[in-house]
Structure 1
Amino acid sequence: MPTRLAQVGHHQEAKREASNAWVLLSTEEISVSADVIDGIAVASRILSDTAVRAAQFAEIAGRKPCLATVLVGDDPASHTYVRMKTNRCRTVGLESKSHRLSQTATTTEVVTLVARLARDITVDGILVQHPMPNQVDERQVFEAITPTKDVDGVTGASFAAMALGDKGFASCTPGGIMHLLDAYGVDPSGQRAVVVGRSPILGKPVGMLLLARDATVTYCHSKTADLPGVVSEADIVVTAVGRPELIKGNWIKAGAVVIDAGYNPGNVGDVEYSAAAQRARLITPVPGGVGPTTIAVLLAQTVDAAESAHSVA
């Protein structure tokens, strides 16, 4: 006889033991109304702690922690993102230095600027906004960032640290995702996690962070056979492909945790939200889910870098 999954107990009481809060029942499948993961609230807690640490650093070091941003080209979304990050720096007591290069900038020009910032002892963290114009080799630019200032977690050294469990900076969106899971009592250990997307700054690193927490991780991409079948077996689904509602709600396993890191025109994520919310236990909205924690982790890691540099100096 077919089986179905149903939640046991009240949602709030069950959060910390959610992985064990589901039992098999007979008859046809039912819908489950998900709890919405509040990324704004989680980010607010990270930023509050960051503001306290930034003030303490400024008192000891005689200057504020400093994030330098590099923006290449005229992409409106990139300008908006950098402005948001600059404003958020101000609200938590960080200094922000903005650098802009033209749409026609070459790889050499961008690398030269980033290398200069890497040598600047008054700069603690470097953020190179991406995507960059097609003629710029992003990887070459990223690798010009000193690993100790790679607060966005985009260098090969940072990825290696995530993969090997060494000390380093996490990519900010993956780092934010782990904060969301922790805030809602989701323990990845022993869980089947499916990551849809394999970008070097989101899909791949979030899989490494989940693996480090003892999840069994499957990466999916454009060549994956039977994507619906793979997703339907996941206890944790992380999407990062930038394709509106690629992941259908009826693919989601009842009781799964859904983290939608996609952001598409019209405030639409990679997941068919309304249908997925009827089956998931926890789900991130778009916007208001993953995005706020990305910026919060960036600023927290800038203070981490400042504290580390000051203790070494």
Structure 2
Amino acid sequence: MNPLFNSSLGHGNTSVTWSSWLVLSLGIPQLAINLVSVVCNCSVILTIISARHQHKPITTLFGSLALSDLLLSSSSFWIALLFIQEPQETVFGSKELLYAYTILGISILSTVYNLMAIGVERYLTVADCLRARCTICHWQTGLAATGSWLVAGLFGGLPLMGWNCLDRDEASSALYRPLCIDYLVFVTIPNCVLTFTCLLVTYVAIIVILKRQKCIIAAQGHVSPRYRVAEARVARTSVIIWIMTVVSYCPFFSGVLWDALDHSSLPELQIHVYIFRNLTAIMITLNSLVNPIVYTHRLEKSGVSFRCPVNNNIHLQTVRDS
């Protein structure tokens, strides 16, 4: 790590200065969170592989999400190391940082696409159970996971295909040099809006379906306490998933919006701008750490309610008659 943090940064004029305690207080927590996230997601992947004979279709998406989060944590760990070693490079950008940001972008896009795929799969599974025919199968979830990675690789890899600002400072992002600000706007805003909307719609639809189903069963006098507990668990989990996604990605989304709308020159930027940038990275990493807990524990714990909200013949017959 460069000991001369208190001096003004090189590469040109800037008002940003770093101290060793500030760099370490931002970098070390991010490194620690990344390491824990890597361990958690590796555990999920190994568990899925070891129990492959018990796989359900949703397990494919869980594994794909864990792989995305593993790549996200690893690339974020790389960026944190670059920040600790040479914090000025994360202000002015470098070719190595471009590679790290590209991998991070691919992993973030893959993560959000897998989150949407899981939400859609859960909705379709509940809807199909209401019709007493579960049609989601392994090849469909495998296709969804593969498509998520292909689209993420296409959009996330654009900086390495030439859409970068290594030699164009005037079009560069202030927060994420050497990425271009128009590229960040192109990738971030549509995907964030699509992700938040998709998760909100699918999980609200699941809750509405379960409540409607409960009313149908109640009219027949067959509602059990177990069903009410399962419904409450599904609703609680759905709310946690949506809030967790919003809280994790909104700071990054806000930073990109600010970056696009603010036209301050590099010498005018203050240190708090880059502190905010590092905090957004920590929030995204926290999301990749919490995902294995929420999706592979809470959803599996309430899996009976997702696969078929009440597992009895009276319920299925009531739904068909309705």
Specify if TM > 0.5.
Answer: no
Q: Which has the higher contact order (CA 8 A, sep 6+)?
A: 2
In terms of fraction of residues, the more helix-rich structure is 2
TM-score (norm. length: structure 1): 0.31
TM-score (norm. length: structure 2): 0.31
